[in-house]
Structure 1
């Protein structure tokens, strides 16, 4: 009999492994598992008693040392699902210099740091050393940490590859390997590096692969590297989370800037997604000049900047995080109840992962997507692919309906970084350059009007010059 929270991956869903072992009956509380006393004590001290569905489903098999194939959306509790058995099964062993015993591979720096922070209390209780290996930070310090010995390494593929090339890390003694957010690693082009890592770890070791989707390149990894995996699929996709609301707000092109600014000025935190680094920086500057405590997050920022901005957002020093898709995976912020797609994603998978930043761990939240009239059909197709049926509403800045859905309000207009106050955008203004324009699409009527105005000015200047010459 299966636990009510468990459902094996159904036949006909993408890319299933050829052979799987039936799962053990999952436990529901941590106290009922064969976890070390130190781990149970730490869980209790942190107030963690009941296991999330993905944890209840996978922990018994993972603690037995079996290969695991887990599918669950971000925010489902995967970190402890793989982290507790990895630490438990590594406890009591000591790593040689440069030779870790367990490896957790993740796609982004933010996720690596988040995993390290989540597992640190349990590792400390078991006297295990963790080294975090990511780009954007001192490689020298990472070399030193590995040389001193670290039982567990949490790494991004690129930096780990660099350290292996420098002979600063050897993986032959790694007997437990975790791939977290495997689909994103493949989407980012890391498949060759991931495969190279899996070719170097101990061939008889345990492998655990967790992913929100199991398709294409992920299936290659499953078939090649997982041995008779136990399959668990728990937690619904973003479109079927009952505590998550989905809204499409149809806005007039020139009004999109004002709508975005008013949403950002709401009480409470909000995460705004845009397509490009330039648009993120430009909107962030505007919001701060309007009196909104906003910070920017994208791959062009240094790692210390990214870490500081995330910390400020989590402790509410800034209330608005303006980000590219770098924030769509692995970012966990407690009580984040609103995500806004200022630029609508064109891919259903991107929508699901952006949406997954809210309504986490049973909390409620809303996902709002701003679209122009000409984007509605494409956005509807994308959302249908994600299994979403949104509520569609036409809105204008300053309207009660916009405030009802998002909590939008007029910003103070008092600049946070000095300089003149920014006038509140009006409906007649041209659209914000770079804001709300998806890659490969036109800027809409506002952009055409601006170009037409520039052409008129140029023609008038040429006529004036001709008059001067002939006069």
Structure 2
């Protein structure tokens, strides 16, 4: 057990985090990681998690949500008798995530925070695409913290490799996705295997109203924390219009003109990744692809190479939109608009993280106009429709109306464009005048 007296001895470490009453090994590690002060989500969530409250927390991407639940869980384990269950395959704290990459990332973060516990707290990550036998071996004797994708966790339960009878805390990371139709059956099956009395923590960048309705049966008198704020964002959003068939030409022009060293480009289909990569290659731009059909080993290698800057352009489906933390990623581009308006914020949130200035571009033709209006309404934003020299288009709104109603477009209007309601950040740092 770690005494609270150890906290007092650590006054030289990170005074801001010390106010949250974290134990000495955590404060020491946070100081080493140069976490100078808690983010707003951490400041509000950590005391409530330590108090045992259920939480539904919404905050911008890159705001430190992983630490907001990981630090108090580690703190609680440290203050209890240390050592994981050795007689059976039990789990104390379970973190469910939607993707393999996020499972590994969250587990790696937790292990990093726990660096000064000398191995006393056992954290295991389990996900599909790799050998289940290795994960079964890792779970022998149980685990203090298990980070898992639902499908692989059910496989392990069916193999008697893990039991959920003793789960004290359940975390749903990217909770809006975990509560969506794609995971409903798996999540319901897992919940039946957990004790009814447990602490439940929901974290996400977005919480649609239909998802909030689903949380009533999951949570007990929850604390609601909502910190999404466009005004506080360091991410600049811009919208470029172009004639149909000219998206690739405009994308190539922007990449070459601004010589971005690291770009994440989103498309909607696995086949579209390779198609766009081939088209860019013909224009002298090499790009790698990242999607669900690639083997887990290949996905891991590509993602790691992109994170360290060995890959300049990465074209990905929405499996890269959730939770991935790519340090100081300067530019995200929506080549295709996301099918779900909620995924727009998750995509662009790969840039502008942890206070870094970032740029999110969306390239649309007239067929995309109505859908982008839905995205704007959903997220309470309004972006100026911009054009790039050499890629000008005609009256865009009228062409979109024509496409929607199959009518002849009226004469071009002269109405003034509305300015984007966004924080005033010098986007020229990233894009320059266009």
Normalising by structure 2, what TM-score?
0.80
1:435 counterpart residue number: none
Query: How many Å apart are 1:262 and its aligned residue?
Result: 2.9
1:57 counterpart residue number: 44
Distance in 2 (CA, whole Å) between partners of 1:364 and 1:144 is 43
Structure 1 residues 29 and 370: alpha-carbon distance in aligned structure 2, compared to 1, 3 A threshold: same
SS in 1 for 2:189: helix
Counterpart contact for 2:84–2:122, Cα < 8 Å: no
Structure 1 residues 396 and 276: alpha-carbon distance in aligned structure 2, compared to 1, 3 A threshold: farther
Matches within 5 A, 1:19-418: 29-91=16-78, 92-96=82-86, 97-126=88-117, 127-187=120-180, 189-215=182-208, 218-236=211-229, 239-265=230-256, 266-288=259-281, 290-395=283-388
Counterpart contact for 1:293–1:317, Cα < 8 Å: no
Query: How many Å apart are 1:216 and its aligned residue?
Result: 5.2
Distance in 2 (CA, whole Å) between partners of 1:28 and 1:349 is 37
Distance in 2 (CA, whole Å) between partners of 1:214 and 1:132 is 25
Moved more, 99-108 or 241-250: 241-250
Distance in 1 (CA, whole Å) between partners of 2:150 and 2:269 is 23
Distance in 1 (CA, whole Å) between partners of 2:295 and 2:308 is 20
What residue ranges of structure 1 are gaps of 5+ in the alignment? 1-26, 402-440, 443-471
Query: How many Å apart are 1:366 and its aligned residue?
Result: 1.8
SS in 2 for 1:61: helix
Distance in 2 (CA, whole Å) between partners of 1:210 and 1:28 is 26
Query: How many Å apart are 1:145 and its aligned residue?
Result: 0.6
Query: How many Å apart are 1:396 and its aligned residue?
Result: 5.4
Moved more, 104-113 or 66-75: 66-75
SS in 2 for 1:201: coil
Q: How many residues align?
A: 373
SS in 2 for 1:267: coil
Normalising by structure 1, what TM-score?
0.74
Counterpart contact for 1:123–1:130, Cα < 8 Å: no
Distance in 2 (CA, whole Å) between partners of 1:143 and 1:153 is 12
Distance in 2 (CA, whole Å) between partners of 1:359 and 1:250 is 23
Counterpart contact for 1:176–1:206, Cα < 8 Å: yes
2:407 counterpart residue number: none
Counterpart contact for 1:104–1:179, Cα < 8 Å: yes
Moved more, 216-225 or 265-274: 216-225
SS in 2 for 1:361: helix
Structure 1 residues 231 and 377: alpha-carbon distance in aligned structure 2, compared to 1, 3 A threshold: closer
Structure 1 residues 382 and 94: alpha-carbon distance in aligned structure 2, compared to 1, 3 A threshold: closer
Structure 1 residues 143 and 103: alpha-carbon distance in aligned structure 2, compared to 1, 3 A threshold: same
Query: How many Å apart are 1:220 and its aligned residue?
Result: 4.7
Distance in 1 (CA, whole Å) between partners of 2:220 and 2:83 is 24
Q: Deviations over 1:85-122 (max 9, x none)?
A: 11121231422342111111111111111111111122
Query: How many Å apart are 1:382 and its aligned residue?
Result: 2.7
Query: How many Å apart are 1:346 and its aligned residue?
Result: 4.0
Distance in 2 (CA, whole Å) between partners of 1:28 and 1:210 is 26
Distance in 2 (CA, whole Å) between partners of 1:211 and 1:198 is 19
Distance in 2 (CA, whole Å) between partners of 1:197 and 1:57 is 28
Cα RMSD of the aligned pairs, angstroms, is 2.3
